[in-house]
Structure 1
Amino acid sequence: MNGVMERLPGFPALPELFGWVEGGIPGTHLPAGLHGIRVEEHLKEGIYVLRAELPGIEPDKDVEITVEENVLTLRAERSEEKTEKHRTEFRYGTFARSVRLPSGAKGDEATAQYKDGVLTIMVPVPEEKAGTRTIPVRRG
């Protein structure tokens, strides 16, 4: 298995199963009432793209996105409807996730869009040009 733990189909990954913070330190748990956010990320044509699963929220009032010291933090809150339920597996409360942005990312130029329960955040990451520099040699 080359040191990689495979999971059986239909079973959640260990961090998800035990409520650990994905991408965090194994064995650490989220505080009570705080839930993790499932994300996927990729870099495409100079843009860092983070997609987050956030079904059932009002993005204009329930989501806060901040960037501080090259760390993007996403917080959302979903309130529980006050009806008597026979059963619920929905999660309510505060959801949060922080990710480190790639080097050179322009967090102050980030944009976000919410569609079909998925929040997409895009952050420009300019390509660094590796120019040639001539170093003069002085006589000593």
Structure 2
Amino acid sequence: MIDPFSTTFDAMDRLVGQLVSGVRSTASAAAGMPLDLFRTGDHYVLTMDLPGVDPGTIDVSVEDRTLTIRAERSPRTDPDVQWLARERPTGTYARQLTVGRGLALDEITASYEDGVLSLTIPVAEEARPRRIDVAHHAGGGAPTQITSGAESRAAES
């Protein structure tokens, strides 16, 4: 089975990183937006860690076969704060994934809870596996249904 998601995230991450910040590397873009992707049943699930992101800044879009996810983590701007350590990155983050054919891109759903963005991407109906029934004409008579061995054994029980 062909994976409808390109596994070459590096080139897209590098391009988006250059466009968004001009200097962000692929590693830091992926580190800022780590993701998991898996298939379950007739849909894919993409989860992405976005802790501290304002939910109003999250933007998910699809154009042609490119899925783009953007989000922003704002810096703390309290004037009375004296920073002792500041390791949490701020700014705009973006990831782009090239998706293959066979997905229902117009039916993607998204939710954001506890710092995790979840996308559910259904497999298109025409791309789902299906069983084809085969009719058999025995000796010029009426057609009979051919069933798999497991089905015929179950029917005999």
Q: Name the TM tier (shorter chain).
A: 0.5 to 0.7
Structure ranking higher in helix proportion: 2
Instruction: Work out which of the residue numbers 59, 65, 68 in structure 2 matches 1:64.
Output: 59
Partner of 1:94: 92
CA distance in 2, matches of 1:129, 1:99: 28
- The separation in 2 between residues aligned to 1:113 and 1:62, in whole angstroms, is 13
Q: Which has the larger radius of gyration?
A: 2
Q: 1:103-124 CA distances to partner (integer Å, 9 max, x unpaired)? A: 2111111101111111000111
Cα deviations by residue, 1:5-26 (Å, 9 ceiling, x for unpaired): xxxxxxxxxxxxxxxxx82139
* Deviations 1:72-98, CA, capped at 9 Å, x for gaps: 110001110103322111010000001
Helix, strand or coil: the match of 1:82?
coil
For normalisation by structure 2, the TM-score amounts to 0.61
Letter in 1 for 2:11: I
Give ranges in structure 2 of 5+ residues lacking alignment. Answer: 1-7, 134-157
* 2:45 matches 1:45: no
Q: Is the 8 A contact 1:102 1:125 kept in 2?
A: no
SS in 1 for 2:51: coil
- The 1-side partners of 2:86 and 2:99 are apart by 35
Identity over aligned residues, as a percent?
Answer: 30
RMSD: 2.5
Secondary structure of 2:97 counterpart:
strand
Structure 2 CA distance for aligned equivalents of residues 67 and 40 of structure 1: 19
2-side partners of 1:118 and 1:102: how far apart?
24
Q: CA deviation at 1:130?
A: 7.1
Tell me the matched-pair count.
110
